[in-house]
Amino acid sequence: MALLLLCFLSLTEGRDLLVGGKTDAWKIPSSESDSLNKWSERSRFVIGDSLVWKYDSSKDSVLEVSKKDYETCNTSKPIAEYKDGNTKVELHRSGPFYFISGAHDHCQQGQKLTVVVISPRHHHMISSAPAPSPAEFEGPAVAPASSAAGLRGGLVVAVGVLGGLVLM
């Protein structure tokens, strides 16, 4: 029980997340697979987390913008503008956040980021989600059987696989 409480508390604390997972990620992507949105899609963001950008402040900036300005790469009316080279933005609400580069034409070349923050309700559902189904784990394949003995044997293998997962 104490371990479960500790896990829950660690999930509710905000984290500082380096954008792109590395210090030089805020740049024009070299390919679609290098896009920061690929990193964002693989990450989970909760209220209280903070995004951290590292970049050369003499050449670039980070603009938080509306969805429309994100889609059109409009830099003229940002919600917030960051120019310090070591930007930290707290994700204070659930829903999408949109960021684009403030450098000329960088957004048009793909230097932008969308982050979706999950609500506390979804966060709770994720942290208390049931274990994945056994089909998601690799295990011994059970051949179909026409007799009750074969069915019982398959059930023993399935229970053995599940039992092993519970003990891990």
pLDDT tens digits, one per residue of 36-59 = 999 999 999 999 999 999 999 999
The fold of the 16-117 domain, in CATH, is: Immunoglobulin-like (2.60.40)
119 or 139, greater pLDDT: 119
Beta strands 112-118; 45-46: pairing state? parallel
Q: Other C-beta atoms within 10 Å of 98: how many?
A: 19
Domain ranges of the chain: 16-117
Give the relative orientation of helices 120-127 and 2-12 as an angle to the nearest 10 degrees.
150
At 20, the pLDDT band (50, 70, 90 cuts) reads very high
Kindly report which listed range (64-68, 118-122, 146-150) carries the lowest average pLDDT score: 146-150
SS3 at position 49: coil
